[in-house]
């Protein structure tokens, strides 16, 4: 199987002419799950993979429209359906799928297994509220970065023997002669800036905690999805995650923030007419795309202030009309009561949207100082 150095353009990929035949590439691609998330999300803007500048690479996504109405319920249903892949370890996925081939009634056990993971998670961790963002993060990184999930963190977080803290996801892809490990942080927020600040703080805490950093590699090696691979690819993959025992193997690390937030611009609606039905979606895409530089600058500011390296970071902003409505729809699709005490979800946002207007000037000044 061949891979190519890729250049990203509006969340699509354009292959160049440098083939890569490392067997690890094909092995990790085999762990990719089916994905049609682009049927529910629109990409309004994306930085090219080789873009110059100090980063972070920034993507703007938003929910698709049914004429003038954002399709929140459709997105929630899709995310729930993807929980089979997100929440269950690879070996269990394969076992349940095999059972369902022999006996279609086993599909009821498939749905129950995914549902039980979330019920157990919320029972053990009542203060956690970002699980829908974690599923979003899984879908986005798998689809737009084509990076396979190498450990089902939800399955670990429901175990009484595992700590709740830690990353929201770990994905990987072999590209350009090295294994790229994607460390995921998923955030729900009432504003893009608040979510960016929260993500930057989480990334900084992870980078400054050596024991947690090593533990993530250990979890992938001992409890991850790599065991579903055949030999010798399985051992090759394990070697690449053995950063202490195999230090000479080529690896790069990227810190991904998936920020699902409530976007006020959904209120700027066009009048409903009998003209082109996609005019409302295209109008919002245009309005949202104009925020690309602004949102990148916000992420840059917070990452720099926390001591992170923006060029090693990527941020996916996902704009929805109301994060609380998305969460409620997600639980409705799951078929379980909304967790008590989580009717309203607000992330503290000390730097409101108003003072983000100063960010671009601050960033520009900082870049000029560095270049002098």
Residue 362 in this model has a pLDDT that exceeds 50: no
High-pLDDT (> 90) share of the chain, %: 55
> Among the ranges 1-10, 179-188, 341-350, which has the highest mean pLDDT value?
179-188
Question: For residue range 50-100, what is the model confidence (pLDDT) as tens digits?
Answer: 666 788 999 999 999 999 999 999 999 999 999 888 888 888 888 888 888
pLDDT score of 158 more than 80: no
Q: What is the mean pLDDT of residues 274-301?
A: 96
| Measured distance CA(285)–CA(270) in Å, rounded | 13
Q: Using CA atoms, how far apart are residues 118 and 155, in angstroms rounded to an integer?
A: 9
Query: Is residue 346's pLDDT more than 70?
Result: no
pLDDT of residue 126: 53
pLDDT of residue 15: 44
DSSP-based helix, strand, coil % in the chain, nearest 5:
50, 20, 30
Q: Over range 13-33, report the average pLDDT.
A: 73
Write the DSSP string, 130-170: -HHHHHHHHHHHHHHS--EEEE-HHHHHTSTTS-S-S-SEE
| pLDDT at residue 186 is higher than 70 | yes
Per-residue pLDDT tens over the stretch 91-129: 888 888 888 888 888 777 767 777 776 666 566 655 555
Residue 243's pLDDT is what?
A: 94
Burial (Cβ within 10 Å: 0-12, 13-18, ≥19) of residue 233: middle
Distance, in Å, from the CA atom of 372 to the CA atom of 367, rounded to the nearest integer, reads 9
Mean pLDDT of 322-350: 73
**Percent of all residues in the chain with a pLDDT value above 70, rounded to a whole number:** 78
pLDDT at 367: 33
Q: Residues 6 or more apart from 345 whose CB is under 8 A from it?
A: 129, 188, 323, 324, 327
**Segment 237-286, tens digit of pLDDT:** 999 999 999 999 999 999 999 999 999 999 999 999 999 999 999 999 99
Q: Tell me the Cα Rg of the chain.
A: 21
pLDDT at 16: 41
**Average confidence score pLDDT of the chain:** 82
Does pLDDT of 175 surpass 80?
A: yes
pTM over 0.75: yes
The pLDDT of residue 365 is above 90: no
């Amino acid at each position: 199987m061949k891979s190519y150095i890729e250049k990203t353009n509006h969340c699509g990929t354009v292959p160049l002419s440098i083939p890569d035949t490392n067997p690890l590439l094909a092995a990790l691609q085999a762990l990719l799950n089916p994905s049609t998330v682009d049927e529910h999300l629109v990409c309004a803007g994306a930085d090219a993979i080789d873009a110059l500048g100090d980063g972070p690479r920034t993507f703007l996504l938003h929910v698709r429209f049914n004429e003038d109405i954002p399709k929140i319920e459709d997105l929630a249903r899709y995310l729930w359906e993807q929980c089979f892949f997100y929440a269950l370890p690879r070996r269990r996925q394969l076992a349940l799928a095999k059972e369902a081939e022999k006996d279609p009634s086993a599909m009821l056990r498939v749905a129950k297994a995914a549902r039980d993971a979330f019920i157990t998670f919320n029972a053990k961790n009542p203060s956690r509220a970002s699980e829908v963002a974690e599923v979003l993060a899984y879908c986005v990184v798998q689809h737009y970065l084509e990076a396979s999930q190498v450990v089902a963190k939800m399955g670990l977080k429901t175990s009484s023997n595992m700590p709740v803290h830690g990353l929201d996801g770990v994905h990987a892809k072999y590209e350009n002669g090295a294994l790229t490990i994607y460390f995921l942080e998923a955030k729900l927020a009432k504003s893009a800036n608040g979510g960016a600040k929260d993500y930057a703080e989480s990334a900084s805490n992870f980078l400054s905690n050596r024991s947690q950093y090593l533990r993530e590699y250990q979890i992938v090696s001992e409890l991850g999805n790599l065991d579903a691979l055949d030999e010798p690819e399985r051992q090759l993959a394990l070697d690449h995650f053995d950063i202490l025992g195999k230090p000479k193997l080529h690896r790069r690390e990227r810190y991904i923030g998936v920020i699902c937030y409530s976007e006020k611009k959904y209120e700027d609606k066009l009048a409903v007419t009998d003209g082109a039905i996609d005019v409302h979606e295209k109008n919002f895409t245009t309005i949202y795309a104009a925020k690309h530089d602004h949102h990148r600058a916000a992420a840059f500011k917070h990452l720099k202030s926390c001591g992170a390296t923006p060029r090693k970071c990527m941020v996916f902003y996902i704009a929805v009309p109301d994060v609380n409505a998305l969460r409620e729809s997600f639980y409705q699709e799951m078929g379980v009561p909304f967790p008590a005490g989580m009717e309203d979800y607000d992330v503290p946002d000390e730097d409101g949207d108003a003072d983000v207007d100063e960010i671009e000037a601050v960033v520009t000044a900082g870049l000029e100082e560095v270049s002098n």
